[in-house]
Homo-oligomer: A and B are copies of this chain.
Amino acid sequence: MTDFNLMRELRRQAPGKIILLVMDGLGGLPLEPGGPTELEAARTPILDRLAAEGTLGQTIPIRLGLTPGSGPAHLGIFGYDPLTYVVGRGVLEGVGVGIVVRKGEVAARGNFCTVDAEGKITDRRAGRISSREAIPLVDRLAQVRIPGIQVEVRHVQEYRFAVVMRGPGLEPDIADTDPQRTGVPPLAARPINDGSNKAAELFNAWIAEARKAIADHPKANALTLRGFSTDPDLPSFPETFGVRSACIAVYPMYKGVAELVGMSVLKFDGDKPEDEFAAVGRAWNDFDFFFVHIKKTDSRGEDGDFAAKSAVIEGVDAALPGLLDLGPAVLAVTGDHSTPAKLKTHSWHPVPFLLWAPGTVRTDDQMKFGETACVHGGLGTFLATDAMPLMLAHAQRLEKFGA
């Protein structure tokens, strides 16, 4: 795992810029034993050229066998060991819908649920109501006013929402109100320590008003909250690694994680790879490090659409000249985890990693970017948290250790 103090000691300024291109869920599986993966099936002449000119490897996102969620997977590739830097469920859920949670604010994840006439839960997920049904209910919650504080509520998906409370004297050590079973009422928000008394009281006041606002709904007539948490106060990425850092992403979740580590989140129009790459170009002189996030590899993987995932990769490949023309010192192309179309979900498999750095890379004998080639690449198999020192080194942004 990356030693942050060591990085602070060794970082140095250099002119070369670094692009970290993350295709979400890039790693795949062959449909048949011995067949190609999504990446291997894609026609990627530019990535293959970069593989030939650079070096390959495969990363372990967290530990062998562990399947990461999107939050931990990105923290890992940014150098933060996900088992050490645990971001609370409430904050991650808020971040996922674009709510920024700052120190002293308390976020929670909310579930709509169904209660009977006695107030006992009959369905912990309100019959998994659709997003279409849930959004107007979230609007009602957003209208609830509690004196002295501000509460922001946003819909997440189906029966799930995120809530953030802002005001003086709030601490997040509060137990979940979800009793994790039916036949009992939702629990009150109970402080785990005295510092959180005020926040728990205010959450209980908010819950009472919020329940009035939705009491007439046939399914989603109550709610539970869990994962109370605040800004995890992660070490600053730009400060630790000594790079002015920009995030270019379309989806709120990834912008949120980048913001949590202190990157500047760039605004731009469009959602295609070429739109994202153009945004990199416009900001080229203002930053040293560019995290560029492509979402659709993961989305098509989760759809189980092998060919569509390959097509997304081909689209990225075709747009790559837009990045290469900028003249980066280092271009790393990888994923945050694997999302094989065959499994339709995130998985634990290693993730292909391509490191291109003209003039400083030790080339290997691999000529094509793909999972099997990455097994044989010069970088070997390594923890995702080691990617940052590798990128910095190839940009000549790390001093020698010791005399």
Which A residues lie at the B interface, using CB under 8 A? Answer: 3, 6, 10, 27, 29-30, 33-34, 37, 52-53, 58, 62-72, 82-83, 86-87, 89, 92-93, 96, 340, 342-343, 345-350, 358-365, 371-372, 375-382, 386, 388-393, 398-403
Query: CA A66 – CA B3 in complex, angstroms?
Result: 11
User: Contacts A376-B376, A381-B380, A393-B65 hold; do A70 and B362 have CB atoms under 8 A apart?
Assistant: no
Chain A to chain B contacts (Cβ below 8 Å), 12 pairs: A29-B361, A34-B363, A64-B389, A65-B388, A68-B401, A72-B401, A82-B401, A82-B402, A87-B402, A348-B389, A349-B362, A375-B376
A349 proximity list for chain B (CB < 8 A):
362
In the complex the two chains form, is B82's CB within 8 Å of A346's CB?
no
In the complex the two chains form, is A83's CB within 8 Å of B6's CB?
yes
In the complex the two chains form, is B401's CB within 8 Å of A65's CB?
no
A363 proximity list for chain B (CB < 8 A):
30, 33-34
In the complex the two chains form, is B402's CB within 8 Å of A71's CB?
yes
A69 proximity list for chain B (CB < 8 A):
400-403
User: Contacts A33-B53, A364-B372, A381-B381 hold; do A65 and B403 have CB atoms under 8 A apart?
Assistant: no
A350 proximity list for chain B (CB < 8 A):
362, 378, 380
In the complex the two chains form, is A398's CB within 8 Å of B362's CB?
no
A58 proximity list for chain B (CB < 8 A):
380
A71 proximity list for chain B (CB < 8 A):
402-403
A372 proximity list for chain B (CB < 8 A):
364-365, 378
In the complex the two chains form, is A64's CB within 8 Å of B371's CB?
no
Query: CA A33 – CA B49 in complex, angstroms?
Result: 11
In the complex the two chains form, is B371's CB within 8 Å of A375's CB?
no
- Name the 9 nearest CB pairs between A and B, nearest first: A65-B389, A380-B381, A69-B402, A72-B402, A65-B393, A64-B386, A348-B393, A65-B390, A69-B403
